[in-house]
Amino acid sequence: MVVSTVVKEIGQLADYRLYGRVAGVLGMLVEVAGLEQALSIGSRCAIHAQGNRLEGHRRVICEVIGFRQRRALLLPFGSLEGVGLGCKAEVLESEPLVRPSSAWLGRVVNALGEPIDGKGPLPDGPAAYSLRASPPPAHSRKRLGGKIDLGVRAINTFLSCCRGQRMGIFAGSGVGKSVLLSMLARYAEADVNVIGLIGERGREVQEWLEDDLGPEGLARSVVVVATSDEPPLMRRQAAYLTMALSEYFRDEGQDILCLMDSVTRFAMAMREIGLSAGEPPASKGYPPSVFAELPRLLERAGPGIEDGSVTGLFTVLVEGDDHNEPIADAVRGILDGHIVLERAVAERNRYPAINLLRSVSRTMPDCNSDGENALVDRARNLLSTFENMAELIRIGAYKQGSDPAVDEAIHYNDALEAFLGQKKEEISHLAEGYSQLAALLGMDDPVAEAPAAEAAPDAAPQAAGAPEDIQVEGLAAAQTAMPEGGLAPAQTSPQGHQPAEGDFKKRRDRMAAALNLAQAKTAAPGT
């Protein structure tokens, strides 16, 4: 394998060098004359720039993005300082490759695969991986694996995700995408994380790495960084490198969690590149090439041909909180589900600010047992009923007792909100989430509890990594916390349709106690 790769690469080396000349520079766009027969889209050139006295001559690596009037149009990977008319442009032969190895774990690299964490050079691996690889052929790809424990309660229970699935996290700015990604990177059950930070503010990268990801998260991750001040080619390439590194670890038979923050910044980099090449803007200034490139990038995540999978979670920054803007729309259509974070939820200080009613995992309900689906359906119905009446309830226009379904939704709402919230330092395992949800709903509604209790023994083998004892313990917790005979549903309370406030408080306290009990079991060593 190694020898054949080296032989192939030697075979590709030319025994001569081709040069052209810089014939024009406009903004970041460089026009090169004399090489139109030798270059094609994606080819690379090194422009010999005039350096200063300290640096000497610089080579600026550029990529061909188009042709106009027999001249090649190139964009640089670095600064164009020192590039002028007549500078030599040397054709570089090889396609962009990277040679990762397992020694890259715990390291931070730039879009060119060079270390930027000051921890010394990175050893090359034996095999070269193309940055622009195609996704595996659809017919030979394995199917999605079992459920993956992502460590975030709301996603585990309501938006179950399977190995090799690709999900989008859609949110406006500052709604909690990066914090959610750091929780996934630390808590998800994956062999390796490959994290692409694309177009982030430079100041935030270090803070995110040190405070949010932390040393234990970094130890099993490779992080690719291209900050917002870097040229568009670097930002675009950071996304390609993130996928190439995921493919390397997947080929090693490992289960990868590929996290990218954000796909929108990748699309913006593509927009800058496309517009520089003279492409016409189509939708919101994005040229057509952006919409062609998005599926090619995102399809690279997923199951492989052999063992190993890349589960992808990609953030999408929705500009102006408009979830129908073109990039969000295109990405939603490509991926296998979307997690919507909403500003209104964050404003009530519930993080992760997921609006479950607008979020979907396309592997559900098939990946769940009947019992799990029954729980999720019940909770979703309660949340949806509350949401429909939320305005009226908040301004006090809803009169308790008018509709038993709404009374019930109001009754459960605080507990469900508490269930969906999760501190960033807190981990929640897949099986425990269902146990806690069963405890919450089972306490107050025996009709909801019955199918969960019946389904629990069946559900355990289907839920990946769901040890039977945790499920049973969770239910036991619910039963212990319940008063004799269980709690009466809101509409059949002794006060008819008007449960006394004290009653609500007691119920809420008991639910919180059940939740804490189940959480305490979660935190206990060995579970």
Ligand X SMILES: Nc1ncnc2c1ncn2[C@@H]1O[C@H](COP(=O)(O)OP(=O)(O)OP(=O)(O)O)[C@@H](O)[C@H]1O
Binding ligand X (rule: CB under 6 A), the pick from 39, 171, 310, 313 is: 171
- Out of Mg ion, ligand X, none, what residue 80 binds, judged by CB under 5 to 8 A for its kind, is none
Contact pick of 110, 156, 160, 178 for Mg ion (by CB under 5 A): 178
Beta-bridge partners for 426: none
Quick one: which segment of 107-115, 171-179, 282-290, 360-368 binds ligand X (CB under 6 A)? 171-179
Report how far residue 456's alpha carbon sits from residue 441's, in angstroms, rounded to the nearest whole number.
14
Identify which of 98, 429, 145 has the alpha carbon closest to the alpha carbon of residue 304: 145
Task: Note whether 174 binds ligand X by CB under 6 A.
Answer: yes
In this structure, what are the phi and psi dihedrals at residue 306, rounded to the nearest 5 degrees? Answer: -110, -155
Query: Measured from the CB of residue 209, what is the shortest distance to Mg ion in angstroms?
Result: 13
C-beta of 170 vs 240, nearer to ligand X? 170
- Which span sits near ligand X by CB under 6 A: 2-10, 62-70, 131-139, 168-176? 168-176
264 binding Mg ion? (CB under 5 A): no
Residue 198 binds ligand X, judged by CB under 6 A: no
Please state whether beta strands 255-261 and 302-303 pair in parallel, antiparallel, or not at all (unpaired).
Answer: unpaired
CA 448 distance to own-chain centroid = 33
Cβ neighbors of 315 (< 8 A, separation 6 or more) are 168, 169, 170, 171, 177, 178, 181, 260, 261, 262, 263, 264
Q: Which is nearer to Mg ion, 178 or 385 (CB)?
A: 178
Beta carbon nearer to ligand X, 66 or 176: 176
Stretch that binds ligand X, among 169-177, 306-314, 401-409, 436-444 (CB under 6 A): 169-177
User: Residue from 80, 83, 144, 175 that binds ligand X (CB under 6 A)?
Assistant: 175
Q: Name the amino acid, one letter, at 169.
A: I
Residues 396-435 interacting with ligand X (rule: CB under 6 A): 423-424
Taking alpha carbons only, the member of 165, 119, 485 closest to residue 337 is 165
Residues in contact with 3: Cβ distance below 8 Å, sequence separation at least 6, in sequence order: none
Q: Which residues pair with 62 in a beta bridge?
A: 45, 76
| Contact call for residues 339 and 155 (beta carbons, < 8 A) | yes
- Going by the DSSP 8-state scheme, the letter that residue 477 receives in this structure is H
Q: Return d(Cα 377, Cα 383) in angstroms, integer.
A: 10
Q: How far is the CB of 318 from Mg ion (least distance, A)?
A: 13
177 contacts ligand X (rule: CB under 6 A)? yes
Tell me if 351 contacts ligand X by CB under 6 A: yes
176 lines the binding site for ligand X (CB under 6 A): yes
If one asks whether residue 182 binds Mg ion (CB under 5 A), the answer comes out as no
From the list 42-50, 156-164, 173-181, 266-274, the region that binds ligand X by CB under 6 A is 173-181
In degrees to the nearest 10, what's the CA dihedral of 201, 204, 205, 209? -160
Span of 17-25, 58-66, 166-174, 292-300 interacting with ligand X by CB under 6 A: 166-174
Query: Which residues would be at the binding site for ligand X (CB under 6 A)?
Result: 171, 173-179, 317, 351-352, 423-424
Query: Which residues would be at the binding site for Mg ion (CB under 5 A)?
Result: 177-178
